[in-house]
Amino acid sequence: MRILQKTLTCWFAAGLWFLSSGFAIAAENADGLAYKLNYLVTLLPEKSGAIVKIQVDKGELLHKFSFNNERNIYSDLHANGKLTTKGQRIEWELPAGEATLSYFVLLTNERSPGKFDSRVTEKWALFRGDDLIPAVHTYEVPNAYSIASLTFNLPKNWKSVETGWKRKAENTFSVDNPERRFDRPTGWMIAGDIGTRRATIKKTGIAISAPLGEGMRRMDALTFFNFVWPELYKAFEKTPQKLLVVGAGDPMWRGGLSASNSLFLHSDRPLVSENGTSPLLHELTHMVTRISGKVTETTNDDWIAEGLAEFYSFELLYRANGMTKARRTNIINGLSKWGREVEHLRKTKSTGPVTARAVVLLDELDKEIRKRSKNKYNIDDVTRELMIHRKVSLNDLTQATQKLIGPKVETLNSPLLK
């Protein structure tokens, strides 16, 4: 209901009231509950970070927000209104009318020794909006919501900037998350001396972007998406309006990392690995489904999210006629061998062998669903149900399957899940 309400009120706030004369008059903020939220980012390569200025035009609607600085990446904070620091917690009470908060954020981050998952150089920057703008806890007038934009000031000679958000102008993006009243620009972002290839596939605008000279195979990725995308949509019945794929070479971290509207893939990672799975489709599955595993003191169901992502990383390719049935069988056999020493899926973080064994179990589950439903259902139906929950457990997986084929799901009675 909150999502629908924001969608409707934002439509009226940004929409047009059409008069009989044919002239259109903007009816922005028709309900009086919208406030403009502008993020102005000035990238500073010499300091490996950026200055961020957050501007709110009606502080009386957004009374206060607070955020955590436990990583100590935010410094030099200034604001009108009242700014308070309590340990690692920073709290800002906004004045009525125009309110402004500014700070410096360190964007370069070393994920492991010599490997970076966020980096600012003299020629380019690759980082996540999740670090640029911290997660905040807001206190606002009931039903107040933001109309947000993100603008970048780039260093001299820097070419362009890309984000997973819709572009309004050259370096300005609209930020609209219908699930939140306070719109925060999350996801991967890249700026500087970069190269980008674009395509629109099934109404999704796709951009593949990387610093020049970093070996990113942009056209390979676009071609790959063109024949796999229809199968992605059939499986999940949902695709984003925009997708940004970013990459770079060493010393960036050699892996893949997904976000809500974008993903990172090291430029040396293949589109399809020698074992037949696709790192790109793995991260894309994470991004589209947004499924994660519930964690308790005794169990960790991370295996579900990682297992599904790895399963679809070759299953979508197979369905798109990118491989033979024999090749698919070889992939399952290879994963079975890799995970043969795994005794439990729920009591450890989903490492490589655990994920491999999870894929084999999920493949068996798919076969059981197809057989018992006489091919009316398959694992896609379960996955779409889990997408509604997002953070899922074995119980969620079991219930979603039982809705389709009834009780006593043999595959989920495995000793691996005890």
Domain ranges of the chain: 1-31, 32-269, 292-417
Give the neighbor-by-neighbor strand order of the sheet with 34-44: 74-79, 99-106, 49-56, 34-44, 145-153, 172-175, 166-169
Reduced to 3 states, what is the DSSP secondary structure of residue 11?
helix
How far is residue 155's CA from residue 249's CA, in Å, rounded to a whole number?
A: 22
Mean pLDDT for back-to-back runs of 10 residues, the chain (418 residues): 44 36 40 94 98 97 95 96 94 97 97 94 97 95 96 96 95 93 96 96 94 94 94 94 95 91 94 95 96 89 97 98 97 97 89 96 98 97 97 96 96 95
pLDDT of residue 29: 53
pLDDT of residue 172: 98
Beta strands in 154-277, from DSSP E residues, in sequence order: 160-163, 166-169, 172-175, 188-192, 194-201, 204-211, 242-246, 256-258, 262-265
pLDDT of residue 17: 34
pTM to 2 decimals? Answer: 0.88
pLDDT of residue 30: 55
Q: Residue 351 has which token pair? A: 């490492």
pLDDT of residue 19: 33
In this structure, how many other beta carbons lie within 10 angstroms of the beta carbon of residue 148? 24
pLDDT in tens, 154-207: 999 999 999 999 999 999 999 998 888 999 999 999 999 999 999 999 889 999
**What is the fold, at CATH topology level, of the domain defined by 32-269?**
Immunoglobulin-like (2.60.40)
pLDDT of residue 73: 97
pLDDT of residue 296: 85
pLDDT in tens, 336-391: 999 999 999 998 788 999 999 999 999 999 999 999 999 999 999 999 999 999 99
